[in-house]
Structures are given as C-alpha cells and as structure tokens.
C-alpha cells in the first residue's frame, strides 16, 4: 500500500507539470533528485559502513527497534545520528569493566568521526549541490518547462493514436 501511495505521489507530480505555477517546482524537484543520485548513493554507503562499525562495537538494544534485526537497528540509528539526532541512548555500555571502558571510548571516537564526516561535511556537500542544481534550473527554466510540456503533448498524442 505504501508503494502504491508513493507511485501515486510521483504520478501526481508528473501531472502537476501541466499547470504553469507547478511546473517550475516539479521541474526543480526532478532536476535536484537526478543531480543528487550519486551523492545519495555515497551517503547510503557511508551510513551502512558506520552502522557496521557501531554493530562491531556494541549491538543496538534500544526498545524502539526491538522488532527489527540488528543490522536494520544500526542503520536506522546511524541515519538518525547523521541527520542530527544526537541522542546516543542506544549505546548502553557498562563501564565497570576495563574492556567495556575501551569500547565506550572507541564508540565516542567513531561517533565524533561519523558526525563530523556525515553531518557536517557531507550534508554541506549536498546543500551545495542542491544550490548548484537550483541555479542551473533557474537559469534554464523557460526551456525546461517548454521541454516538459512538449513531452506531455507527445505522450498525449501517443495515447490518442
């Protein structure tokens, strides 16, 4: 059902291009998503890598993820951390043992590296890429809108014949 709703949303955006007021924003969204596909793939790889590192240090036993497997728990927690949800309650390492203290220190080192790399550096790259894509679309918006409308007319003619 969720997949059907997402497909309907995409199709609604597709048909919103017909109206000139919506054509600009829909063209912008399509262009930005197309330009960000490499960054989003890299970000996904980064999240999975850091989630595996956190899994090696200590498994995520947070109650909010209790019905998921450990890999999914760590991926979701790492995604939340990389987007700025800095509540590392999932890392409940007991500090009464020397080995646990070393894991605790290692966790915080990895956490700081992950936050600096993913939240500060990488998200700023994405913002810069979105700004560049926005400027490119804004510069060529007239021709892009006419191109989209020509594609819609072509599709309508193909359906009618």
pLDDT tens digits, one per residue of 24-71? 788 788 888 888 888 888 889 989 998 888 888 776 777 777 788 878
**Confidence band, pLDDT 50/70/90 cuts, at residue 87:** low
Q: Which of 151, 156, 149, 161 is nearest to 24 (CA)?
A: 149
Contacts 24+ apart (CB under 8 A), 31-35: 31/133, 31/136, 31/137, 31/144, 32/130, 32/133, 32/134, 32/137, 35/129, 35/130, 35/132, 35/133
Tokens, residue 142 = 């007239």
Give the pLDDT confidence of 104-147 residue by residue, as tens digits: 788 788 888 888 888 788 888 888 888 888 888 788 877 877 88
Contact status, residue 77 vs residue 64, Cβ threshold 8 Å = no
CA distance 44 to 122: 11
Q: How many domains does the chain have?
A: 1
Rounded alpha-carbon distances, angstroms, from residue 50 to 79, 81, 121, 127: 9, 10, 15, 22
What φ, ψ does residue 93 adopt, rounded to 5°?
Answer: -85, 135
Domain with 90 in it: 2-160
| Cα 132 from Cα 18, distance rounded (Å) | 25
pTM tops 0.75, yes or no: no
pLDDT at 94: 46
């Amino acid at each position: 059902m969720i997949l059907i709703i997402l497909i309907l949303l995409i199709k609604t955006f597709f048909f919103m291009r017909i109206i000139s007021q919506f054509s600009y924003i829909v063209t912008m969204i399509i262009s930005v998503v197309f330009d960000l596909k490499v960054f989003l793939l890299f970000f996904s790889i980064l999240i999975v890598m850091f989630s595996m590192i956190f899994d090696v240090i200590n498994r995520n036993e947070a109650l909010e993820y209790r019905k998921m497997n450990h890999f999914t728990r760590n991926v979701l927690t790492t995604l939340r951390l990389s987007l700025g949800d800095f509540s590392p309650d999932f890392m409940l390492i007991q500090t009464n043992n020397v080995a646990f203290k070393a894991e605790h220190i290692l966790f915080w080192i990895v956490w700081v590296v992950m936050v600096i790399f993913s939240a500060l550096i990488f998200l700023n790259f994405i913002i810069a890429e979105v700004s560049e894509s926005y400027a490119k679309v804004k510069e060529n918006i007239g021709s892009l809108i006419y191109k989209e409308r020509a594609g819609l007319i072509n599709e309508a003619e193909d359906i009618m014949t």
